[in-house]
Amino acid sequence: MATGELKTDFTRSIGDANNQYRFDRQLTFPSGALVHFAVSKGEVWVVTGPSGENTVLLP
């Protein structure tokens, strides 16, 4: 299972998606998804082990 934060270049950025995963989402495996994506028109970032405020998405 995977999750995705889709962002447009006009309203929200990849940085906004990173903050959503860090502060707004309670995502843990195995009860949650295994991989999480932040996607915009020109970038895709991923994290496999969100850990609250310490979560860092990688390009």
pLDDT at 29 (0 to 100): 59
- pTM score, two decimals? 0.72
Domain ranges for the chain, please list them: 2-54
pLDDT per residue, tens digit, the chain (59 aa), is 788 888 887 888 888 888 887 787 766 656 677 888 888 888 898 887 766 677 777 78
Whether residue 46 contacts residue 58, with contact meaning beta carbons closer than 8 Å, is answered with yes
pLDDT at 16 (0 to 100): 84
DSSP 56: -
Whether residue 8 contacts residue 42, with contact meaning beta carbons closer than 8 Å, is answered with no
Cα(18)–Cα(16) distance, rounded to whole angstroms? 5
